[in-house]
């Protein structure tokens, strides 16, 4: 069979624990489906920063570029390195350098998980713009420390960037339930968000079979809680998508369930797979992190690599594990126990 060459970036806090779990499950699924995974681990993290003064080496991006995909845990340890340094030194440059413009984040309840909502079933696919918008990094500060100090953070929206993420969302809706919810704040932000709404209408004209509705971000936040079952594909800018996907995680039962794929749809560079959650300093080192978000992300990686059967196998095994009560309540089992339950289900098939 084939061998895929994967870069592993475990990162900080619970990142290494959940990456190890995801890797073990991915390898088990690969074995069942007759292919292999070769992993190269890069120890880039806040500890690496404290030792070297960088989050990754100068040629870090070039090292990653040669791999078929990247599996990442979490980046950030604010007690020792400011988040603005660690995230702009590792996670964000990877998304940008490899033009991983589509951040795909599925939100649905796994069997046995009791979410906080009355809604028993919803299946939302968040498509988050991942390379520009509010995360452009354009701006600066003047008169630092003085009364007159000013900080400017400029959100940059390009026609190319907005159009391609909307097209990606419409394509996703076409093979799902045919609905796109496009999220802006065009009542208050009259340049970028009106631009986004206009491009939404232009792109929608190419997809007569997809029903599109534009929502304001505030109303969407309420809808995801009050009526999540009315949503199919939700497409949003970088920051709005970031916030909505932690909300999506919450309605799934917690951050331990939410997976993500940072995809370069042109495949001109590797894509990156990581849970939505961060390094969870409050529970790090206790062995209690839920690995399901990372495991689900690894399943998305295998699907992206063309191994749909192994990907489906992992999803099925996760569902078997949660049905048996594993991973459904925060802190009730160890990371290892939940991982073992998924591995057991994979080997039972």
Catalogue the E-assigned strands of the chain. Answer: 3-11, 36-41, 69-74, 102-108, 123-129, 133-142, 150-156, 179-184, 211-216, 233-236, 259-263, 271-275
Query: Whole-angstrom Cα distance, residue 163 to residue 158?
Result: 8
Q: Which stretch binds Mn ion (CB under 5 A): 85-93, 109-117, 162-170, 238-246?
A: 238-246
Let me know if 218 is a catalytic residue.
Answer: yes
CB nearer to Mn ion: give 293 or 342.
293
Q: Pick from 16, 60, 256, 270: which binds ligand NAD (CB under 6 A)?
A: 256
Interacting partner of 107 out of ligand IPM, ligand NAD, Mn ion, none (Cβ under 5 to 8 A depending on kind): none
- Quote the least distance from Cβ 104 to ligand IPM, whole Å: 12
Listed residue (347, 162, 56, 120) closest to 252, CA to CA = 120
- Single out the residue of 12, 129, 242, 303 in contact with Mn ion (rule: CB under 5 A): 242
Q: Is residue 242 close enough to count as binding ligand IPM by CB under 6 A? A: yes
For residue 309, the tally of other CB atoms under 10 A from its CB is 14
Neighbours of 305 (CB within 10 A): 20
Residue selected from 25, 289, 295, 318 as contacting ligand NAD according to rule CB under 6 A: 289
Q: Judge residue 23's burial from the number of C-beta atoms within 10 Å of its C-beta, 0-12 exposed, 13-18 middle, 19 or more buried.
A: buried
We find the least distance from the C-beta atom of residue 246 to ligand NAD, in angstroms, to be 7
Instruction: Give 3-state DSSP helix, strand, coil % of the chain, rounded to 5.
Output: 40, 20, 35
The two three-digit tokens of residue 281, written as one number: 């300093």
Tell me which residue has tokens 């990156």: 272
88, 137 in Cβ contact below 8 A?
yes
Catalytic residue at 96? no
Residue 113 touching ligand NAD (CB under 6 A): no
Selected range binding ligand NAD among 115-123, 188-196, 270-278, 296-304, rule: CB under 6 A: 270-278
Closer residue to ligand IPM in complex, CB, 172/261: 261
CA distances from 220 to 199, 225, 263 (A): 19, 9, 24
Fill in the per-residue mask, 89 to 108: x = in contact with ligand IPM (CB under 6 A), - = not in contact. Answer: --x-----------------
Residue 270 touches ligand NAD, criterion: CB under 6 A: no
State the catalytic residue, choosing from 123, 246, 336, 340: 246
Interface residues toward ligand NAD, by CB under 6 A: 14, 18, 74-76, 78, 83, 87, 91, 254-256, 274, 277-283, 289-290, 293, 330
Interface residues toward ligand IPM, by CB under 6 A: 76, 87, 91, 242, 276, 278
């Amino acid at each position: 069979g084939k061998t895929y060459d994967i870069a592993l970036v475990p990162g900080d806090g619970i990142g290494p624990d959940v990456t190890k779990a995801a890797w073990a499950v991915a390898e088990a699924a690969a074995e069942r489906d007759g292919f292999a995974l070769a992993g190269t681990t890069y120890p880039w993290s806040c500890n690496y920063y404290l030792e070297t003064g960088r989050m990754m080496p100068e040629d870090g991006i070039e090292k990653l570029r040669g791999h078929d995909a990247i599996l990442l845990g979490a980046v950030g340890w604010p007690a020792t390195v400011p988040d603005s340094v660690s995230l702009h030194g590792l996670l964000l440059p990877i998304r940008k350098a490899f033009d991983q413009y589509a951040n795909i984040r599925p939100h649905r309840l796994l069997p046995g998980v009791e979410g906080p909502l009355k809604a028993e079933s919803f299946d939302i696919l968040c498509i988050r713009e991942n390379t520009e918008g509010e995360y452009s990094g354009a701006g600066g500060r003047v008169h630092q420390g003085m009364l007159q100090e000013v900080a400017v953070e400029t959100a940059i929206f390009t026609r190319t960037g907005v159009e391609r993420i909307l097209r990606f969302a419409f394509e996703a809706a076409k093979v799902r339930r045919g609905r796109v919810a496009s999220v802006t704040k065009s009542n208050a932000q009259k340049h970028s968000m009106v631009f986004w709404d206009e491009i939404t209408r232009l792109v929608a004209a190419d997809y007569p079979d997809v029903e599109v509705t534009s929502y304001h971000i505030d109303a969407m936040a309420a809808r995801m809680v009050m009526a999540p079952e009315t949503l199919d594909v939700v497409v949003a800018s970088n920051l709005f998508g970031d916030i909505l996907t932690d909300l999506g995680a919450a309605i799934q039962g917690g951050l331990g369930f939410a997976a993500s794929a940072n995809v370069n749809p042109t495949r001109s560079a590797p894509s990156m797979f990581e849970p939505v959650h961060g390094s969870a300093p409050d529970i790090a080192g206790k062995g209690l992190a839920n690995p399901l978000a990372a495991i689900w992300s690894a399943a998305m990686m295998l699907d992206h690599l063309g191994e749909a059967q192994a990907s489906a196998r992992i999803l099925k095994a996760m569902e078997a594990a949660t049905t048996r009560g594993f991973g459904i309540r925060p802190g009730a089992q160890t990371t290892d126990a939940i991982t073992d339950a998924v591995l057991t289900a994979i080997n039972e098939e």
